[in-house]
């Protein structure tokens, strides 16, 4: 009899502990500091509504301007220009001349089209993947360490708590970003996607792997590489329009511009709207993160005459 009672007590103890453990670590939304109660309530309601979903739950984010500050200049550009200045500028050998010709095209051409992202990859061609990753990591450590938005870190933590796969989809060179993004956000390298190029005999080439994740190519990249319709997509610019419209749930727009009216063929469905106006009318959720130049760090991008990106000094709107 005593043995039976001890067994019952043991079972009850195990059940009680299991109940406490499950209850204590239940999926619970943690409000994001710096965002309004209205935004937090909408996010919490949405995430709770996904608890019943048993299939893959996918969230996709642009990087520059969405997860990582882009003021005063894009990390990809600064990393490439700084490397060019150190290794190729003012040299007369054929390799240096060819690399600086690509830099000249980047400095004086359209910086939002597919040709621009192709030039970035062409500049990095000939290097091994590890060197490209180190270029990106060094630039991050030198000038961008404080630029991941704390609000977005909290959002990613909430999404992970609710069982989401988190993906990054950038128009910057994939190899340039994977290492420092993985190390600072804890996202697996295989889920950090950017402009891909063929690796041949251990070297980066200028042969692009399609689709190129620029503009509508970002939507194609979701379908091609991620292979799931996302429940949550975050972006910050016109370039993220098609990607954000892949979302069947939340469409989060970070620091949306409300001054520039998008026009012409490149504007697509956003023609005649500012970014904010478009998403205000198309079920977007606008949030704001502080993105300003914090230090007097010298930027090669500035030295070479590129205009600074617009600052966003207020975290609360």
DSSP readout, 145-174? TT-B-HHHHHHHHHHHHTT-EEEEEEEEEH
Q: What is the pLDDT of residue 7?
A: 54
Residue 142: helix, strand or coil by DSSP?
A: helix
What average pLDDT does the structure give for the chain? 92
pLDDT of 209 strictly over 50: yes
Cβ atoms of 303 and 83 within 8 Å: the answer is no
Polymer length of the chain: 317
Residue 32: helix, strand or coil by DSSP?
A: coil
pLDDT of 22 strictly over 90: no
Report the alpha-carbon distance of residue 209 to residue 195 in Å, rounded.
8
The two structure tokens encoding residue 2: 């005593």
H/E run at residue 195: strand 192-200
The two structure tokens encoding residue 172: 């910057």
Q: Would you give the DSSP letter of residue 272?
A: T
Report the alpha-carbon distance of residue 58 to residue 248 in Å, rounded.
10
> What number is the average pLDDT over the span 68-80?
98
Rg (CA), the chain: 23
Report the alpha-carbon distance of residue 84 to residue 124 in Å, rounded.
10
The two structure tokens encoding residue 23: 């209850």
Cβ atoms of 192 and 178 within 8 Å: the answer is yes
> What number is the average pLDDT over the span 205-228?
96
Residues 246-295: pLDDT tens digits? 999 999 999 999 999 999 988 999 999 999 999 999 999 999 999 999 87
* CATH superfamily of the 37-43+54-303 domain: HAD superfamily/HAD-like (3.40.50.1000)
Report the alpha-carbon distance of residue 249 to residue 242 in Å, rounded.
14
Residue 195: phi, psi to the nearest 5?
A: -70, 120
The two structure tokens encoding residue 246: 């892949």
H/E run at residue 203: strand 203-209
Question: What is the CB-side half-sphere exposure of residue 13 using CA atoms within 13 A?
Answer: 6
Residues 86-129: pLDDT tens digits? 999 999 999 999 999 999 999 998 777 788 999 999 999 999 99
The two structure tokens encoding residue 79: 């990393």
Kind of pairing, strands 203-209 and 192-200? Answer: antiparallel
Question: What CA–CA distances, in Å, run from 142 to 121, 134, 200, 268, 298?
Answer: 22, 12, 30, 37, 10
pLDDT of 45 strictly over 90: yes
Question: What CA–CA distances, in Å, run from 162 to 9, 25, 129?
Answer: 34, 11, 34
> What number is the average pLDDT over the span 15-37?
68
């Amino acid at each position: 009899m005593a043995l039976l009672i001890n067994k019952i007590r043991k079972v009850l103890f195990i059940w009680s502990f299991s109940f406490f453990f499950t209850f204590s670590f239940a999926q619970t939304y943690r409000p994001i500091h710096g965002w309004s109660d209205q935004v937090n309530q909408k996010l919490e309601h949405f995430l709770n509504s996904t608890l019943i979903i048993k299939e893959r739950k996918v969230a996709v984010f642009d990087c520059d301007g969405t997860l990582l500050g882009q003021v005063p200049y894009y990390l990809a550009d600064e990393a490439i220009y700084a490397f060019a200045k150190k290794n190729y500028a003012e040299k007369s050998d054929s390799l240096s001349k060819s690399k600086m010709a690509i830099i000249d095209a980047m400095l004086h051409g359209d910086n939002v089209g597919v040709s621009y992202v192709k030039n970035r990859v062409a500049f990095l061609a000939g290097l091994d993947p590890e060197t490209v990753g180190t270029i990106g990591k060094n630039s991050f450590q030198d000038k961008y360490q404080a630029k991941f938005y704390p609000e977005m870190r909290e959002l990613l933590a909430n999404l992970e708590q609710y069982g989401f796969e988190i993906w990054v989809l950038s128009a910057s060179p994939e190899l340039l970003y994977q290492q420092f993004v993985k190390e600072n956000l804890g996202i697996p390298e295989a889920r950090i996607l950017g402009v891909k190029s063929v690796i041949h005999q251990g070297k980066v080439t200028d042969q692009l792997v399609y689709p190129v994740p620029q503009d509508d190519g970002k939507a194609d990249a979701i379908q091609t590489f991620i292979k799931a319709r996302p429940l949550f997509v975050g972006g910050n610019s016109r370039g993220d329009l098609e990607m954000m419209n892949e979302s069947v749930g939340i469409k989060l727009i970070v620091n949306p511009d409300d001054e520039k009216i998008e026009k012409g063929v490149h504007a697509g469905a956003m023609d005649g709207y500012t970014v904010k106006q478009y998403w205000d009318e198309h079920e977007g959720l606008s949030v704001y993160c502080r993105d300003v130049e914090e230090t007097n760090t010298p930027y090669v991008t500035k030295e070479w005459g590129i205009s600074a990106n617009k600052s966003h000094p207020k975290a609360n709107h």
